[in-house]
Amino acid sequence: MANLPLSNIFYRKTRTGIGILSVALGVSMVLVLVGLTQGSLNEYADRITNMGADILFMAPDSSPFLVLNTGVMSERLGEKLGDVTGVEAVAPVLHWRVTSIKGVKKLVSIFGVDLPSYNRIGRGVEIVEGTGFQGPGDIIVDTVLSTADGLKLGDTLPMMNQDFRISGICKAGAGARMYMRLDALQEATGQPGKTALFLIKVAQGRRVGDVAAALESQFEGYKVTALEGFVEELRDNALGLKQFTRVLSVLAVIISFLVILLAMYTTIIERTREIGVLKALGAGKLYIIQLVMTESFLICLLGVLVGFGLSLLGRALILTLFPTLTVALIPSQFAIAALLGIFGGLMGALYPAYRAARLDPVEALNFE
């Protein structure tokens, strides 16, 4: 009788398969969706910190998500920032977004930059093919966007009611997916002389914290963020991320609970005579409960393992179809998803196990 849970699983293959698949879908849903959200957040933070600047200077009440900020500060403010003790270089950046590339709907960030000053603050724009800006109608795209959308040097892209020419392809991993001349983006978006933020490089030998404090003192109300703490601030300001993760977790538990509850309940009805035989042979209530719970645990465990496989497959599929997206499958999330799937399944098996344990052996043996 020790092998009964395992034997029961393989005896009813269809129902077992449905239970495993349902648990697997709940697990993979948590892993992939949370991984997509977390991966996009991490990838965005990495691109900002990899620019090489030391400090972000933004307008009051600005969001750490640069995609939410537009030109609200005067470009001339950069001259005053450059006069602050400890500041080595200042680069104005105007941010904009386009929602379509070559007729395909997608959200792509554009930085309007003054290339010489932008390159002085850190990594800058690393051209791997072509050149920088030759004219106001030139744009630079990074290697990821170029590969994903089949963009090549000399291609014309209609954006913001204008046609722009790809003059260069830059290395991905820092800044935006696209770059334009600052004055060209200002004119195209109707924001002459405006910028969304300033990137600041601290002079060698100076402490970033001291320079940031000086900027906060001289420009009261403005938002000064040292990039060494940018990732933490970004996560703290990711509105809805924790709630989103919790909702997904609850959904995974509910799915596992309902599927296992239905599967185990119908199984108990089908096995009424079998349970009666076991009780007639001396099986107690505890043994019956243990039998049902063990079978449920095995189904959930197999479902979790299949869910892990589906998550890896889903990640590979997303990265193949959408190269600009990032899915971060974090080890700790695997553990959480596994616990959620197994917990939900075991909770769903409690009532069927209790019902099976209370069956009267005489009535069970007479059950048709």
CA–CA gap between residue 52 and residue 203 (Å, rounded)? 13
CB 39 within 8 A of CB 201: no
User: What is the dihedral sign for C-alpha 187, 193, 196, 202?
Assistant: positive
Please, what is the angle between helix 13-49 and helix 285-321, to 10°? 50
Is residue 187 packed enough to be buried (19+ CB in 10 Å), middle (13-18) or exposed (0-12)? middle
* pLDDT score at 309: 92
* pLDDT score at 239: 54
* pLDDT score at 271: 64
CB 177 within 8 A of CB 142: yes
Per-residue pLDDT of the chain (368 residues; tens, 9 = 90+): 446 666 666 666 777 787 788 788 878 887 888 888 777 777 777 777 788 888 889 888 776 665 555 657 888 898 999 999 999 999 999 988 887 777 777 778 889 999 989 988 888 888 999 888 888 889 999 998 888 888 899 888 888 888 899 999 998 888 888 999 999 999 888 888 889 889 999 998 889 889 999 998 999 888 888 887 666 666 665 555 667 667 766 776 677 677 766 766 666 666 666 666 776 667 677 877 777 778 778 888 888 899 899 999 988 998 888 777 778 887 888 888 888 778 877 777 777 777 776 766 656 555 44
Please, what is the angle between helix 241-270 and helix 13-49, to 10°? 170
CA–CA gap between residue 125 and residue 118 (Å, rounded)? 8
Q: What's phi and psi for 90, nearest 5 deg?
A: -130, 135
* pLDDT score at 1: 46
- Return the SS3 of 321: helix
* pLDDT score at 167: 92
CB 295 within 8 A of CB 9: yes
- Return the SS3 of 172: coil
CB 87 within 8 A of CB 81: yes
CA–CA gap between residue 84 and residue 275 (Å, rounded)? 82
User: What is the dihedral sign for C-alpha 251, 253, 259, 262?
Assistant: negative
* pLDDT score at 268: 62
CA–CA gap between residue 264 and residue 346 (Å, rounded)? 10
Amino acid at the residue 234:
L
* pLDDT score at 27: 82
